[in-house]
Every structure is written in structure tokens, then in C-alpha cells.
Amino acid sequence: MNPQLNKIFSKLAKEEKTELKSEKVELNVVEDTMKKAAKIGGKILGLESDILSKANDIKKLSSDYTQYINQMKDFEKKAKDLGIENVAKEAREAANHYEDKIKKADKMLNNVKAAIKR
């Protein structure tokens, strides 16, 4: 064969190998990225589960606070009946404080649950 053709074929062979190597590297990058994405996805699912578990804990505490609030309102009423206005006022303030906390916790829970469902 012509020596010039040999040089051309030799260069073409080298270029084809280079292209294959670069494609293999690109495939490795894609595979690595997919593995990392799967790992991150698993961690996110775990965190979502933890968050929902904590949300349920907060919901249970909310129920306990509601009982406490009802007791404080009853205590306020009894204190008024006994003419102890300053104690009644403190009981009312405590009940209001915890009612606000429950409202904030419920709002936060709803926001968290909505964010997880997206």
C-alpha cells in the first residue's frame, strides 16, 4: 500500500481510539452521577421519614397542650369564682400562650407535610 495511505489509516485508528476512550470516560461520569443521585435520594427519603415521625410527635404534644389549656381555662373560671382575679389572669395568659404555640405548631406541621408531598 501507499505509505501516505498507511499514515492516514494510522492517524484515523488513533483518533477512533481516542473517541472511544472519551466516550467511556463520559459513561463513567454518568454512572457515577447516577449512583450519587440514588444515594442522595435514599438519604432524602430517610430524612422525610424522620421529619414525619417528629411531626407526629409534635401532634401528640399538641393534644397534651390542649388538655393543659382546658385545665387552665377551668382553673381560671374557678379562680374568678373565688375572687382571685390576678390568678385568673395568669391562668388565662398561660392558656393563651399555649394556644398560640399549638397554632404555630399546627401551621408548621401543615407546611412540612405539604413540602414533603411535592
User: Which whole-number Å values give the CA distances from 19 to 12, 92, 98, in the listed order?
Assistant: 11, 78, 68
Mean pLDDT of 108-118: 80
Q: What is the pTM of this model?
A: 0.51
Helix, strand or coil, per DSSP, at residue 64: helix
Q: What pLDDT was estimated at residue 24? A: 62
How confident is the model over 13-52, as pLDDT tens digits?
665 555 555 556 666 777 888 888 888 888 888 888 888 8
Amino acid at site 35: K
What does pLDDT average to over the chain? 80
